[in-house]
Chain A
Amino acid sequence: MITKLIWRNLWRNSRRTLITMASIAFAVLFAILMQSLQEGVFNNLIKNVVNYYSGYIQVHQKGYWDEQILDNSFSGDVTLLAQLQKNNAVTEVVPRLETFVLASNKNITKGCMLVGTDTEKENKLTQLKNKLIKGAYFENDEDAVLLSKGLAKRLQLEVNDTLVLYGQGYQDVMAAGKYPIKGILHLASPEMNDSFVYLPLKACQYFLSADDRYTTISLGITNPDALEPLKKELSQSIGKEYEVMTWQELMPDIANHIKADGFSFYIFSGILYLIIGFGLFGTVMMMTVERKFEFGMLLAIGMKKSQLKRILLSETILIAFCGVLLGMALSFPMVYYLQENPLRLAGDLAKSYEQFGFEAIFPTEINATIFMTQSLIVLVMTIAIGLYPLWFVNGMNPVKAMKK
């Protein structure tokens, strides 16, 4: 009988019940969509930035990041590389030797960033080959450089010309060398495009008199969400002489930007919840006041407040559950669609993104946690609002309630 009463009460004003469910569903849908999109944009941004050069995690000699000099490089130990590669969460292990040197052609001299790297591994991590606009990609056993476009222009150099490099090698040894230019790279970051020179690792180590030494090992990983635990794990396995840093530590500006954007998202969704919450509260209040006489009558004839409250709570929970489930059911195909057919920025914004070498597309992120948390938030909010009629009944006096 009570079940019958609850069920029929739900449908006594079916349009209102459906509208209420729909608004709950909409809240869930909107929240999930928003967060999926936001998370998608961020992950895409991170992927772009990180894959551009740094990798998600870097390993250095302890102290290198604070003082980036060759004397803080470390001896390339095969077991170290193997140990890093052994971890299942690590996809790429790219050893590099990086330092500032001078690059010159005839009487033009420019400061540049020299990167000695494993050519194949580097390509796997940062897709360096794709950035080639002239010439060909280099091989590990070659003595040839890839030159960034901006630097090539300043030095008035072309493919097959010769680049002169000189500077200070490991332990203050003088370093000087001549290298043929095998290719010109277009690097999207203007800063990198004006200053980067890539040399195969072996050649670079020879040039800097730093045989078998690295400054950095850059890592590609499987799951960007589990960065911190991985960092800890790697730190422990390779020992105290090394520092393990995440991309957030390497690029705090970008990390902060994402954090700030995430914060404004929370404010925005808070406002969304508030609006929907108030709408819902209005409906619930109206329904309650409308049924005041009926509640008064039920209490007068001998129904206990606890019984009545149980009925009202069941009604709320049913509406809330249906609404939330409906919202989840609607969100999934939409999120999926936007993942398969990502939003594409157009116009100036797109251009500025593309300038940085990022495609201006924003796939949504399908993430069970987003579905669960957003749905749970809406569910809890709805049920909290649904406590209003219980509170109303609690303070009710049947005699007063039935008075006109």
Chain B
Amino acid sequence: MKETVIDAHNLSKIYDEKTIPVYALNKVHLHISRGEFTAIKGPSGSGKTTLLNMIGGLDEPSEGFVEINGTNITELKGNELIDFRLNNIGFVFQSYNLIPVLTAKENIEFIMLLQKRPKEETDQRVLELLKQIGLEDKIDKRPQELSGGQQQRVAVARALAPKPQFILADEPTANLDSVSAENLLDIMLKLNQEENMTFIFSTHDQRVINRARRVITMEDGKIVEDTAETVIIHKPK
């Protein structure tokens, strides 16, 4: 049996509860094991971002709860939750990932510095990652001096640096051309294999979906297909 990293029980998120309720997420169950490389696909508005935000502890579910490595993060409050995120979850967003006034190296080490890790460890890790993402020569470049693809690679390296439990990436390739997108996926896959890092990312780019080992399909706030189970959980009504 593989080690469980994420366990989401009966997750719902309802917007506009008082007027016309919108189920952004409707009673979703999700189980992710260590080392998985999972894509979440689905049309715009199907609830991909909402699901990732719940798993990442950025937003509170209206119903249900999320367990990460056995910790129920839905019960964590305020700074406890922030510290949990800082120490356990890596985030890659669609854009505005990097701090504009810091160099590639400083951006990558930023989270480790917030965690107050020792400097030698941080330096070593940053150099290692810069090599892995193929940007050793851009070490002192600011984000605006990097291409969109390079910026996203730095963002992945930053998320990965402190070795979190898993990395959440919400449409990381949405702003990239197809070459850069594939290149980013290559790097993510490589890191997934070399460091056994768990990746969960949302996308609607078919070529990206093709790289994933597990594909979850969402529609109207529900998971309608999950290749890990190779069965349709909820038939669309």
Give the residues in chain A near B113, CB-CB below 8 Å: 1
Contact yes or no, A301 B58, CB < 8 A: no
Question: How many A-B residue pairs lie within 8 Å, measured between CB atoms?
Answer: 55
State the CA gap A298–B159 with chains docked (Å).
12
Is the Cβ of B102 less than 8 Å from the Cβ of A8? yes
- Bound CA–CA A378/B83 (angstroms): 38
Tell whether A297 pairs with B96 under 8 Å between CB atoms, given A9-B101, A399-B59.
Answer: yes
Complex Cα gap A298–B97 (Å): 9
Interface flag for A293 (CB, 8 Å): yes
Contacting pair B96 A302 (CB below 8 A): no
Cβ of A376 within 8 Å of any chain B Cβ, yes or no, is no
| B101 and A1 form a contact (CB under 8 A) | no
Q: How far is the CA of A299 from the CA of B100 in the complex (A)?
A: 15
User: B232 an interface residue at 8 Å Cβ cutoff?
Assistant: no
Assess whether A174 is interfacial by the CB under 8 Å rule.
no
Please judge, given known A-B contacts A8-B101, A301-B85, A302-B111, whether A402 and B93 are in contact too, CB under 8 Å.
Answer: yes
Docked pose: A398 CA to B81 CA in angstroms: 13
A206 shortest CB reach to chain B, Å? 89
Give every chain A residue within 8 A of B110 (Cβ-Cβ).
1, 301
Asked if B124 is at the interface of the complex by the 8 Å CB criterion, the answer is no
Q: Is B58 in contact with A398, judged by CB distance below 8 angstroms? A: yes
What does the 1/0 interface line of B45-80 toward A look like (CB < 8 Å)? Answer: 000000001001011000000000000000000010
Interface residues on A, range: 20 to 34
- With contacts A398-B58, A399-B59 known, is A300 near B91, CB below 8 A? yes
Does B82 sit within 8 A of A, measured CB to CB? yes
CB-CB under 8 A for A301 and B102, given A294-B96, A402-B93: no
- The reply to whether A301 and B86 contact each other, CB–CB distance below 8 Å, is yes
What 1/0 flags go to B89-112 for Cβ under 8 Å of A?
001010111011110001000110
User: Is B114's beta carbon under 8 Å from chain A?
Assistant: yes
Chain B CB within 10 Å, residue with most, of A297, A302, A304, A307: A302
Among residues of A, the one whose C-beta sits closest to the C-beta of B59 is A399
A residues 348-404 touching B (CB-CB < 8 Å)? 398-399, 402
Most buried by B among A12, A297, A299: A297
Least CB distance, B173 to chain A, in whole angstroms: 17
Q: Determine if B79 and A5 form an interchain contact, defined as CB atoms under 8 angstroms apart.
A: no
If A300-B91, A301-B86, A302-B86 touch, does A399 touch B99 (CB 8 Å cutoff)?
no
CA distance A169 to B137 in the complex (A): 106
Q: Is the CB of A303 within 8 A of B101?
A: no
Q: Mark A289-323, 1 if CB is under 8 A from B, else 0.
A: 00001101111111110010000000000000000
> CB within 8 Å of B: which of A1-19?
1, 4-5, 8-9, 12
Residue of B nearest to A297 (CB): B96
Residue of B nearest to A398 (CB): B58
* Interchain residue pairs with CB less than 8 A apart (15): A4-B102, A5-B99, A9-B101, A294-B96, A297-B93, A297-B97, A298-B99, A300-B85, A300-B93, A301-B85, A301-B86, A301-B159, A302-B111, A303-B114, A307-B114
